[in-house]
Amino acid sequence: MNSSSTNPARGSAARQPSKKPSEKPRPQDRPARLAVGVVGAGRVGAVLAAALRIAGHAIVAASGVSDASRRRAEELLPGVPLLPPQDVIARADLVLLTVPDDALPTLVQGMADARAVRPGQLLVHTSGRYGISVLDPATRAGALPLALHPVMTFTGTGVDVERLEGCSFGVTAPDQLRAVAEALVVEMGGEPCWVAEDRRPLYHAALAHGANHLVTLVASAMELLGRAGVERPSRMLGPLLGAALDNSLRSGDLALTGPVARGDAGTVAAHVRELRRVSPEILSAYVAMARLTADRALAAGLLAPQAAEALLGVLAGDNDRGDDA
């Protein structure tokens, strides 16, 4: 058994609280490493384990039953045995729990019921939705709980390890483990961002709204351009969306442009009519986003109240005017 297994918090991670988040530990500065096990060798688990291995930790075992998990482990974690979860936990000082959100509470409760965890063992989950309370059954058995959520989309390939450099992590941890959590994130190349336990659902909703809905938005825009006869929608959208994203990150609502921000109700009415004909599903999203855009433009002083009233009337279906109305 690894010599640090009785209290891994006194190992490598806890010895580096003096380092700033932007300072990645140098190999020559690294003390004794942790034995790391991965329960759920999916896209996230395999990548984070690979990053911890680069930092000098020993990846002692992983669990994964699907063919994709096995291939991913072979590529990112060569030589690491694939074992049942209980065997992974038994070998590790630090256990990465990288399973889907809905499976996490059942997994933790099962670990506690089976007395699989031991005092001083670090349990790290990567769910954005949960803080550390989901680990309570194991914490009561003496485990040390950490929530480290990488704010990144994962492909499950080596390129993800490079993308971790500078990636934010939503971190929730007990006060006495904050230094441990920070050091682990820094070792993976990330930047820790502290999120309170009761704010985790809101934090995660914000990320899902921004990232997941962005994919849906872009894909639907490309679909509409294709139906309008544009041969390379992605090439047309790339510069426009890149500029819009950059401007919005810099200026927030003040970056709003287009017919809604201008209060051009006639143009919006033409959009509504055409989308109703071509794609009622996309129309629903367009109307919802246009309403929110109008509200935010009004609050930011970009849209006059009278123009907003006419615009919201169009979005509510009060008229069906053309773009020359």
What's the rounded Cα separation, in Å, for the pair 244 and 221?
14
In this predicted structure, which of 6-15, 122-131, 238-247 has the lowest mean pLDDT? Answer: 6-15
What's the rounded Cα separation, in Å, for the pair 66 and 278?
40
| Average pLDDT over every residue of 162-166 | 94
pLDDT for 10: 42
What's the rounded Cα separation, in Å, for the pair 163 and 53?
16
Residue 105 near residue 95, CB atoms below 8 Å: no
| Average pLDDT over every residue of 262-291 | 96
Three-state SS for 300?
Answer: coil
DSSP string, 155-223: -SSHHHHHHTTT-EEEEE--GGGHHHHHHHHHHTT-EEEE--GGGHHHHHHHHHHHHHHHHHHHHHHHH
Confidence of residue 23 (pLDDT cuts 50, 70, 90): low
Query: What percent of the chain stands above pLDDT 90?
Result: 81
* 324 burial via Cβ count (<10 Å: 0-12, 13-18, 19+): exposed
**125: nearest Cα among 117, 116, 134:** 134
Query: To the nearest whole number, what is the mean pLDDT of the chain?
Result: 89
193: tokens are 């961002």
User: Model confidence over 58-112: pLDDT tens digits?
Assistant: 999 999 878 888 888 889 999 999 999 999 999 999 999 999 999 999 999 999 9
Could you list the beta-strand ranges (E) of the chain: 35-39, 58-63, 94-97, 122-125, 144-150, 168-172, 191-194
| Average pLDDT over every residue of 238-244 | 97
pLDDT at 165 over 70: yes
| Average pLDDT over every residue of 156-180 | 95
- Which secondary-structure segment (H or E) carries 9? none
What's the rounded Cα separation, in Å, for the pair 157 and 250?
31
Three-state SS for 316?
Answer: coil
- Residue 136 neighbours by CB under 8 Å, 6+ apart: 108, 145
User: Model confidence over 178-214: pLDDT tens digits?
Assistant: 999 999 999 999 999 999 999 999 999 999 999 999 9
Phi, psi angles (nearest 5°) of residue 152: -160, 150
Three-state SS for 74?
Answer: helix
pLDDT greater at residue 27 or residue 236: 236
pLDDT at 30 over 80: no
Confidence of residue 122 (pLDDT cuts 50, 70, 90): very high
pLDDT greater at residue 27 or residue 134: 134
| Average pLDDT over every residue of 297-313 | 94
| Average pLDDT over every residue of 141-170 | 95
In this predicted structure, which of 39-43, 128-132, 145-149 has the lowest mean pLDDT? Answer: 39-43
What's the rounded Cα separation, in Å, for the pair 168 and 173?
16
Helix axes 280-299, 200-227, angle to 10 degrees: 120
pLDDT for 47: 95
Highest-pLDDT range among 9-13, 21-25, 26-30, 254-258: 254-258
For the chain, residues classed under CATH 3.40.50.720 are 8-195
pTM of the complete model = 0.83
**Count of alpha carbons within 13 Å of 248, Cβ hemisphere only?**
13
Three-state SS for 237?
Answer: helix
Regarding the domain delimited by 202-315, which CATH topology (the fold level of the hierarchy) does it fall under? N-(1-d-carboxylethyl)-l-norvaline Dehydrogenase; domain 2 (1.10.1040)
What's the rounded Cα separation, in Å, for the pair 308 and 296?
11
| Average pLDDT over every residue of 141-148 | 97
pLDDT for 67: 85
- The DSSP letter of residue 82 is B
What top-level class would CATH report for the domain 8-195?
alpha beta
| Average pLDDT over every residue of 9-13 | 44
Residue 122 near residue 34, CB atoms below 8 Å: yes
Confidence of residue 227 (pLDDT cuts 50, 70, 90): very high
| Average pLDDT over every residue of 121-132 | 97
| Average pLDDT over every residue of 263-268 | 96
For the chain, residues classed under CATH 1.10.1040 are 202-315
